[in-house]
A and B are shown apart, each in its own frame.
Chain A
Amino acid sequence: MIRKTVANVEEALKGIKDGMTFMVGGFGLCGIPENIIAELVKIGVKDITCISNNAGVDDFGLGLLLHKHQIRKMVSSYVGENDEFERQMLSGELEVELTPQGTLAEKCRAAQAGFPAFYTPAGYGTEVAQGKETREFNGKMYVLEEAFKADFSFVKAWKGDEAGNLIFKGTARNFNPAMCGAATITVAEVEELLPAGSLDPNEIHVPGIFVQRIFQGKDYEKRIEQLTVRTLK
């Protein structure tokens, strides 16, 4: 067994520098690496490029980094829940690259799996395809999209073991699996870190080979963005 455990978030983030590109897992506030984001705010690393489906909300998730002006560029598919984000984008302080959600996921997966690029129909005929190579296959037009390149991937899982194997819960899985192994170093924080052998190998979602560092997260807030309930009849 190859051990991937590190003692804490400080150790997990060794080697991060200003100007780096980070992949950050999560959909909205669901499945985001809360401990890592808090530590990035604390360290004050800046000029970073963040590849993440969303940009958090004003006072949580990646919104915390935006608030401190630590992010130079966001690569996302949907950024609608964040006023500070919108202000920085419209004023030109923040560079934004909007990418269709499925393309965003596949650009992570391509980086993970060793594909330099792939063709997708998403965005053909729109401004997303501008300047990109297009090609016809079987009578339909496709756009060539390139794999991401990133220095660190930051993901959050439900359970993990010392070997770096990960299991996710519910829709908190989202972009996290595709980001594992898609950057030079993948750091996973988990709600429950277990000894090797505790998890059933049949139920692993991400094998430990894709993870370089894993640590036990703490104090998860798991904020709900849109609490929606039905009333008892």
Chain B
Amino acid sequence: MLDKNGIAKRIAKEVRDGYYVNLGIGIPTLVANFVRDDISVEFQSENGVLGMGPFPFEGEEDADIINAGKQTITTLPGASFFDSVTSFGMIRGQHVDLTILGAMEVSETGDIANWKIPGKMVKGMGGAMDLVASAENIIVAMMHTNRAGESKLLKKCSLPLTGVGCVKKIVTNLAVIEVTPKGFKLLERAPGISVEEIVKATEGTLIVEGEIPEMEL
């Protein structure tokens, strides 16, 4: 079974040379730590920066330079700052190549819910609805089950939706799964995890064809 860093490490393999990438808050943020250093990638943060670098050294932080998680950041050579309209123009106009975000639930038709638990948690959708409605290439990073042990890969989402039919790939602590017109398709198993364990943890339709390889990390 993978931990959060393991999930990030596996997703980092999906990042290709020349990609502009938007990383959501949580596990997606960790992906930046594992991207190969022999490829050229720029990270976009929707509050208005392209070419995001690592966190600053202590004492070098600047209150005017933060990411969408409100964390202090640095910029790399080639970086740019811009306003929110331009930022979402990049997103809505499909200039960002890959979007990686977290989710509370994903359905077998690619619906995603990650912004609201009625009566309990209403923090808002931030930029998630814009991102999932426009991005061609969306990877969800999440745990396969919730804290109560219930599957987060469902036939139908029970929570209010963030977007409809938009998720293409899911990387969890147990598996790599593709969303196909016929349902979830199992592509890879996490180290030490059996197909049976994944089937058991998946509520939605799971297509298992042939031998399922173990992830290479």
Q: Taking beta carbons and an 8 Å cutoff, which residues of A are in contact with B?
A: 27-31, 53, 76-81, 86, 89-90, 96, 98, 100-106, 108-109, 120-128, 158, 168-178, 205, 222-232
Contact = CB atoms under 8 A, between A and B. Distances in A.
B200 interface: no
A98 B125 contact: yes
A223 B54 CA distance: 20
17 contacts: A27-B47, A30-B63, A30-B70, A77-B124, A98-B122, A101-B126, A102-B129, A108-B85, A158-B64, A168-B83, A173-B48, A173-B82, A173-B83, A176-B83, A222-B63, A228-B73, A231-B57
A177 B83 contact: yes
Nearest to A231: B58
A122 B84 contact: no
Contact of B64 (A31, A78, A81): A31
Interface in B158-173: 160-165
B55 A230 contact: yes
B49 A171 contact: yes
Interface residues of B, number: 51
B130 to A, nearest CB: 3
Given A79-B124, A174-B83, A121 B133 contact: yes
Q: Please report whether the interface of chain B is mostly helix, strand, loop or mixed according to DSSP.
A: loop
A28 B65 CA distance: 12
Nearest to B124: A78
B84 A53 contact: yes
Nearest to B113: A126
B213 interface: no
Most buried by B among A96, A120, A123, A177: A123
Contact of A105 (B55, B64, B66, B85): B85
B133 A171 contact: no
A81 B123 CA distance: 8
A180 to B, nearest CB: 10
Contacts of A223: 63
Contacts of B40: none
Given A120-B92, A127-B160, A178 B84 contact: yes
